Amino acid sequence: MTELFEYEVGGRKFLLDKGKAKEAFEAKRVICGRNSPEFNVMPLKYNWAYEIYRDMEANHWLPQEVPMYDDIRQWNDDRFLSDRERNIIRVGIGYFCSAEGIVGDCAQTIIRENLTAPELKLAVGRHVQEENIHTESLLYMISSLRINPHEVSALFLSMPSVIKKNQTITKHLPKLRRELDLTQTENKQLFAKTIFGITQIMEGTQFFGLFLPILHLQREGKMPGMGQMFRYTMRDESNHIELGRKLFLALLEENPDILTPTFKQELIQFMRDGIESEVSFVDDLLPQPIAGLSPDEIKRFVRYNANRRLMALGWEPIDDGKGKFIMDNPFPWSAEAIYLKKNENFFETTVTEYGKLSNLQEVKSEEELFEGIEV
């Protein structure tokens, strides 16, 4: 006889078949687990993935909710913006048009496709959707400011540091697509490297080098709508970084053959390359300081973010090449800029409040879940 039990998560209750639920739970793996069309999202094994998913959902935003009237006025008036500041904006739009595409494509066709537990696929699917929203926000900026996207791309691609910065990531990205044999250690390492490269180096370190000058402009009262969209984007990126970190750690935990000392060194060198290409990009972006913002400080900010990512994995920080470890945020205000709430929006807009979706309750541990069940 089928024995049912009540499973509760996020305020929702499910009646699950005990035997089937336990079987589904035990067959869940980050990779190489059960990958069937049967219902097996619940019970959750990777609770954190569902929590991040709900959090991402609660942060939902739409570019057209943010007005750009002031931005348009400022963009066309030399009293508000200098050419150097306009250049930052053009390069910012150009870079993110390309980078959001690289991240979205890898998250969808490499990371999501090779995961097997459904709650992980759900969370990474949302990550991909947020990259689409970021792309949509860039289209909205291009259209509002009447920027020629081909000119922006050309400007962006003419900078050797940008080419190097993108190649640092893409040259390491494996040709991992569907149906690759992920039982082989070498392939598992390539998969781990993709997660690390996309979420910890690109989103977690390199993006911040360019977010910062744009947020700085917003703090100075310049390009407020654009700044607001970048703040929403950064908040999303914080979730992508955390999702990637947890995914990476769960993958390593289930597959102890991945993290050999040599492979760990390879990943740390990957991060070093990512930092160095970002530092040369900052030199090209900002050859001289603009008011209140020096290139050296942005470089320190990049190194600080890289060290945060490494330490969050339980790894050692990297020195700045002169024996110094950058552990403090040179721009403490940037943390506040990311952790905004939707209702902090200072524009008079019709803002939908999605925050109520995030009241996810504590989920049960495995022991609590299958207490007294024998299969």
Catalytically active residues are 140
- Between 24 and 234, whose beta carbon lies closer to Fe ion? 234
CB of 134 to Fe ion, least distance (A): 4
Contacts with Fe ion by CB under 5 A lie at 100, 131, 134, 203, 237, 240
The amino acid that residue 324 corresponds to is K
- Between 51 and 131, whose beta carbon lies closer to Fe ion? 131
Q: What is the DSSP string of 54-112?
A: HHHHHT---GGGS--HHHHHHHT-TTT--HHHHHHHHHHHHHHHHHHHHHHHHIIIIII
Q: What are phi and psi of 16, to 5 degrees?
A: -115, 150
CB of 6 to Fe ion, least distance (A): 36
CB of 103 to Fe ion, least distance (A): 5
CB of 237 to Fe ion, least distance (A): 5
What is the distance between the terminal CA atoms of the chain, rounded to a whole angstrom? 13
SS3 15: strand
Give every CB contact of residue 84 below 8 A, 6+ residues apart in sequence.
286, 288, 290
CB of 56 to Fe ion, least distance (A): 10
Q: Where are the beta strands (DSSP E) in the chain?
A: 4-9, 12-17
Which contiguous run of DSSP H or E holds residue 274?
helix 261-285
**In b/e form, how buried is each residue of 209-227, taking b as 16+ CB within 10 angstroms?**
bbbbbbbbbbebebbbbbb
